[in-house]
Amino acid sequence: MLRSRIIPCLLVQNKGLVKTVRFGSPKYVGDPLNAVRIFNEKEVDEMIVLDIDATVKGVEPDYAMIGNIAAECRMPLCYGGGVKRLDQAVRIIGLGVEKVALSSLAVEDVGTVSSIAQYIGSQSVVVVLDVRRNAATKKYEVWTHNGTKNSRQDAVEFARRLVELGVGEITINSIDNDGVMKGYDMEIARQIRAVVTAPMTVLGGAGSLGDLAQLIKEFGVIGAAAGSLFVFKGVYKAVLINYPDRGRKASLCAGTLTRVSA
């Protein structure tokens, strides 16, 4: 039976775990491997690891780092960052990663994305759409390279096209909500859910279990991803890896959570 997934998202820069606010001001919060070990103990549903440097710097994925993280993970792992070719995606899957996340490649060469999906399987290909709402047109547009390049692609139409080309999952990442911890951008999630039947994950803005509960209550089976929520604790944002316990997670995914504090 399909159910919602509660997913920590770890951002990696210079081999360290960082957190950003609106894709800027990265703050070092620890060692990725230590975070993975703690999340293992907390029995998380799935994990996303994104190298935010690789594409911007135009370098190969850090296969040694990916392999080390995959070897530690006891949950399904999705990795993204720097993947531009089929052979890179195949190598990453060979390291024990279940899903490869693509972003700028989808904008630059959608044909290669389709080829990757055909070769490794649609279920193993995720496209992360970093989106921002255009104040003039009111439409959501896809940005790349850590939110510095506007592709001018309409996010909703692009998501629909990607699924038609074989992409197995769409992750919506709100640039404006990233790290703010005031809730998801529910509007873009609604718009993309209306045209896409493939699995969908929403990222950017979760500040409490209540935000996860709201997302799951409206969309049912969905990926509820968060970064800051699972690495910070309290109003002063002390670094503390956390995750809902088994009972809270079950009630959260069932839409019956009553206590919504972290």
**Residue 125 buriedness (CB in 10 A; 0-12 / 13-18 / 19+):** buried
> Chain-centre distance of CA 204, in angstroms?
8
Nearest CA among 49, 42, 60 for reference residue 17? 49
Cα-flanking dihedrals φ and ψ of residue 238, to 5°?
-70, 140
Angle, CA of 185, 187 and 193, to the nearest 5°: 110
Active site residue 130: yes
Catalytic residue among 130, 154, 178, 211: 130
Q: Quote the tokens at residue 140.
A: 């959501």
Nearest CA among 218, 217, 206 for reference residue 244? 206
Residues with catalytic roles: 130
